[in-house]
Amino acid sequence: MSAQAKITLATLRAMKREGRKFSVLTCYDCTMARLIEGAGVESILVGDTYAEVCLGHPTTLPATMDQMITITQAVRRGAPNVYLIGDMPYLSYQVSVEEAIRNAGRFMSEGGCDAVKIEVDSRLAPTVETMSAASIPIVAHLGLRPQSIHVHGGYRVQGRDVRDARRLMNEAAMMERAGAVMLLLEAVPLELAERIATHTELPVIGCVSGSRTDAQVVVLHDVLGLGAGHPPRSVKRYAELNETCSAAFRAYAADVRAGRFPIDALTASLGDEALSGLDAAAPDGEVVASDRGA
Ligand code: KIV
């Protein structure tokens, strides 16, 4: 694994200016974070998709602040140099701007994040402005907003007609004015994503929105072919870990059943002296394994 220099907002802004694309992966634990940073991926999003891919919920809504902080800390331990974005969970920023600042502050100070992401529309612009004024770098997530799934009425492409596309372009401009440091566009048509990316100096991360943005983000389990999720058809699988893991688990269970694992020659063993000591009668009052029911 190659050591990676610390990626900062300045790095990502320079990449945008120079027309160099960067990649973002979601991540939820230290082991994967280590591998992601080692592979040279510039940024990690600790996504609230954690609730879906790791906890098995049907939506992201059940993710909590405490869970997100715990996994963010684990990811940061594994990847000290990536640009780390913490995803603020449902109702951690919508209730009041005071709560939003306090919760975002936890991602920054306890989680070691470089920025936090919130799902926004025009009504959240004042929140973005106040949070930015409190020195919280915001990634403004526009388009399909999974925390509003029950308002959207399903996982649908956003900005398909002219009116909706204009609304999204306006919202993107509004977020830039409010002080957001980056934009994330989920499930918008590729030409709209391109327009938004070319009309702003902010790095724009695309998610299922075509190749014309400055960066891409994908859910880790989707690119690894891991888990029960059904990724959008544009997501490319770079591995088939469901099959790899299942084969390993089957082989392990078969070895245990057949007595092939573990291998005794590789296991600690008592010497002859200790063995004969064990076989001798235990002195009165001494606790032996069978006394504990073991
Ligand atoms: O939580 C998440 O993983 C996300 C990405 C899908 C953009 O928000």
State pLDDT tens for residues 108-160. Answer: 999 999 999 999 999 999 999 999 999 999 999 999 999 999 998 888 999 99
237 Cβ neighbours under 8 A, 6+ residues apart: 222, 223, 224, 225, 231
**Which residue's alpha carbon is nearest to atom 3 within ligand 1?**
47
- The CATH number assigned to the domain holding 155 equals 3.20.20.60
Say yes or no: 264 and 197 in one domain: no
Q: Compute, in angstroms, the gap from residue 254 CA to the centroid of ligand 1.
A: 38
131 Cβ neighbours under 8 A, 6+ residues apart: 93, 97, 100, 101, 104, 118, 138, 179
Q: For ligand 1, say whether the CB of 186 is within 6 Å of any of its atoms.
A: yes
Q: How many domains does the chain have?
A: 2
126 inside domain? yes
149 inside domain? yes
214 Cβ neighbours under 8 A, 6+ residues apart: 15, 16, 21, 22, 197, 203, 204, 205
**Which residue's alpha carbon is nearest to atom 6 within ligand 1?**
219
Phi, psi for 264 (deg, rounded to 5): -60, -35
Query: Distance (Å, rounded) from C-alpha 6 to C-alpha 2?
Result: 13
* pLDDT in the model for residue 285: 59
Select which of 186, 243, 273, 286 is catalytic: 186
What's the angle, vertex CA 84, arms to CA 79 and CA 86, rounded to 5?
A: 125
Say yes or no: 18 and 162 in one domain: yes
Say yes or no: 257 and 191 in one domain: no
* pLDDT in the model for residue 1: 44
Domain that holds residue 187: 9-218
Say yes or no: 281 and 143 in one domain: no
Q: Compute, in angstroms, the gap from residue 126 CA to the centroid of ligand 1.
A: 23
Say yes or no: 99 and 37 in one domain: yes
Residue that terminates a domain, selected from 186, 218, 250? 218
Say yes or no: 175 and 109 in one domain: yes
15 inside domain? yes
37 inside domain? yes
* pLDDT in the model for residue 229: 82
Say yes or no: 115 and 208 in one domain: yes
**Are 131 and 108 in contact, with CB atoms under 8 Å apart?**
no
Q: Is residue 186 flagged as an active site residue? A: yes
Q: For ligand 1, say whether the CB of 49 is within 6 Å of any of its atoms.
A: yes
Q: For ligand 1, say whether the CB of 204 is within 6 Å of any of its atoms.
A: no
Q: Compute, in angstroms, the gap from residue 194 CA to the centroid of ligand 1.
A: 20
Say yes or no: 200 and 281 in one domain: no
pTM check: above 0.85:
yes
27 inside domain? yes
225 inside domain? no
Say yes or no: 53 and 124 in one domain: yes
**Are 225 and 240 in contact, with CB atoms under 8 Å apart?**
yes
* pLDDT in the model for residue 286: 62
Residues of the chain with pLDDT under 50: 1-2, 292-294
1 inside domain? no
Say yes or no: 125 and 33 in one domain: yes
* pLDDT in the model for residue 283: 67
Burial 169-182 (b: 16+ CB within 10 A, else e): bebbebbbebbbbb
* pLDDT in the model for residue 231: 85
Say yes or no: 287 and 172 in one domain: no
Query: Dihedral, CA atoms, 153, 157, 160, 164, nearest 10 degrees?
Result: 60
Say yes or no: 213 and 251 in one domain: no
* pLDDT in the model for residue 3: 63
Look-up of token digits 């072919």: 225
